[in-house]
Amino acid sequence: MDVRYMAGAFYRALTAAKDGPSLYDICDPVFLRQSCGNSHLATFYRTALNNPALRLVLRRSGLPELRDPIRVRALRDALSAACDDDAPDWAAIGQPVADLVDTIELSHPKPKRVVPPPHLPRPADIDAAIRACGTHLLGSFDRNGFIPTYAAFNLIGDPDCGGRELLMALTGLNARGYKNSTLMFNLARVFIARSATGRLINPPWIGIAEPMWQPVQIRHRTAYYDAFFTEALLAFIDTDLATGAESAASRDAIDQMVAFCLKTSRETVRGPDGGTVDVVTALAPLPHPRFSRFFWQIKQRLGFDVYVPDCDTTACSLSAATQAGCNDPMLQQPLIDFYAGLQVRDGGNAPSVTVPLNDSIDYDGGIVTWIDSLAGERPFGNDLDPTLNLDVLELSFRNAARWQVIETPKRLETLRRIIGFHRRLIESGQFADPKSHIYYLPELYCAYFGRCTAALRALPEAVQRAIDPDDAFAAMREKVLGYVQDELITREINPFDAALALIALGHLGAEPDSFKAPLNCILDALGEGWRGAPFKAYEWNKMKTPTRILVGGPEVTSAFVLMGLALARRALAPRPAA
């Protein structure tokens, strides 16, 4: 973070000329009155938007069009309806806010092209960086009893979410609290993005993945994170760079994290045949998420107190357990049958995607994100994310024999339809468009595509041919590898971007020259982190609703860098003599 830049941005936010009514001029009369029918909305306003710190920097952020009393009345009436009506008309309530959201001009990063470095770094330097990342992860686990990840709110919102997407969310989400927070965050982001405060909230950065500079970050633990930390420590062991003590500590941490995934985070839901199935919840009950009491109370006040299982956490947890050699009975369930019940069929259950923020892509064959709880709860409605569908494939490839995928025509058809979903996405070029993704960057999709491809290529050739008779993965590989080589690594990147590039390049069998730019980027940045971390925290995944919520952390960066460097090290190792 550039301290001089932040100081200047803070000063400009405090001293900017006020050009019309502010967020507080609009909202105070609605939410600070004695009676508000839906107490959550008033509580949300007071906690999330009317706190002293945000009010300080937003009090001079005004919108000139709100000098029009008719427009102000329409906006306040909509907010009052959201607050007071028993069954709000969310499309009507959202329209005045959506009109304002459409005045925001935001864009995704467009890094400039750079001259590639001339040489590969020394193998010894790669090894040293791997050891630094492994030591960081093990040290964090030893201090905390788990490896933490952090969430941070970026109130300026996501460039892909305009007024149309706001209305999709308001009408497609189920939980009223989540609708409330989406409405209010989107109203606030207009005042932020169109004022000097925007440059304070959203400073510029190098590369694609956004650095997590936000001063308030919420530490927590989920099975999804433990699954990827498990993979990182498995990669550390496989490099043979860990000492004997570090290998033993890694194994112990892996065992504990797999247990957290499959035991602590296990949840029973209804299966497609009416029976029950064990899946993995997105957020285990207290005390397991390891929130501080302060943040847990804020989380409940803001309306984020109900979570349900999801297909991605389930897939990644079971994949990590499989890789770790676990034989938990949960792995014996042919979960591909459960996923088939959540697969979109054109003209069939396509309406199951209730929040279609990425409706420019063809959903047919894809698996939706959220799993109804046994009580029938689905607070987030449902959406469909491409990267999640790679994780479902990867898990299924690793368990193809156990689940008798090849021997069961329906299971084989389910996999082929997911592959067809990806093939259309990749061949159209839409995989490289951030708008095609709900929770991830296109660059991360490329890395996970490499990971998925590696799981397929590890299967016997006859099994590969049965799953992919048209050799779709070979065609997709060319497109994805071309994007990484011709776009991602030819531009300014940061260490997290570089790690994603290495994972894609390593798994997809790229030529050694392709590794130069990402390897040099990572090694040049080694030591940039704070408090002994090798690297800073960067965006791993995100939520687009209710606002842009980034998830990552310095440990996450270490995990991805470690996995990327391990693959590069293997790819660059001297070939044995014939």
Q: How confident is the model at residue 401, as a pLDDT? A: 97
Long-range contacts of 123-128 (CB under 8 A, 24+ apart): 123/569, 123/572, 125/523, 126/519, 126/523, 126/565, 126/568, 126/569, 127/239, 127/241, 127/569
Q: Is the peptide bond before 111 cis (omega within 30 degrees of 0)?
A: no
Distance, in Å, from the CA atom of 557 to the CA atom of 147, rounded to the nearest integer, reads 12
**Helices 554-572, 123-144: inter-axial angle, 10-degree rounding:** 150
Give me the domains of the chain, ranges plus CATH numbers. Answer: 3-109+174-200 (no CATH), 123-154+202-572 (1.50.10.20)
- In DSSP notation, 148-197 reads -EEEEEETT--TT--HHHHHHHHHH---HHHHHHHHHHHHHHHHHHTSTH
Q: How confident is the model at residue 215, as a pLDDT? A: 75
DSSP-derived letter for residue 17 is P
Structure tokens at 391: 């994780």
Distance, in Å, from the CA atom of 545 to the CA atom of 181, rounded to the nearest integer, reads 9
Which pLDDT band holds residue 266 (cuts at 50, 70, 90)? very high
Q: Nearest Cα to 277, choosing from 377, 391, 166, 373?
A: 373
Predicted TM-score of the model (pTM): 0.95
Q: Count the helices and strands in the chain (H runs, E runs).
A: 23, 6
Q: How confident is the model at residue 348, as a pLDDT? A: 54
Q: Any residues with CB less than 8 A from the CB of 501 and at least 6 apart, and which? A: 443, 446, 447, 484, 488, 489, 493, 517, 518, 564
Alpha helix segments (H runs only) across 291-441: 293-301, 311-323, 335-340, 386-398, 409-427
Structure tokens at 377: 């709860």
Query: What amino acid is encoded at 97 in this protein?
Result: V
- Give me the torsion for CA of 10, 14, 17, 23, rounded to 10°: 100
Sign of CA dihedral 490, 494, 496, 499: positive
Tell me if residue 248 falls in helix, strand or coil: helix
Using one digit for the tens of pLDDT, what is the confidence trace for 387-413? 999 999 999 999 999 999 999 999 999
Using one digit for the tens of pLDDT, what is the confidence trace for 60-119? 999 999 999 999 999 999 999 999 898 999 999 999 999 999 999 999 999 999 999 999
Instruction: List b or e across 183-212, with b for residues whose CB sees 16 or more CB atoms inside 10 angstroms.
Output: bbbbbbbbbbbbbbbbbbbbeebbbbbbbb
Structure tokens at 536: 């800073």
Specify the higher pLDDT residue, 510 or 7: 510
Q: How confident is the model at residue 218, as a pLDDT? A: 87
Q: How many CB atoms lie within 10 A of CB 84?
A: 14
Q: How confident is the model at residue 122, as a pLDDT? A: 96
Tally the C-alpha atoms within 13 A of residue 540's C-alpha that lie toward its C-beta.
Answer: 21
Using one digit for the tens of pLDDT, what is the confidence trace for 139-159? 999 999 999 999 998 999 999
Specify the higher pLDDT residue, 577 or 179: 179
Distance, in Å, from the CA atom of 228 to the CA atom of 563, rounded to the nearest integer, reads 10
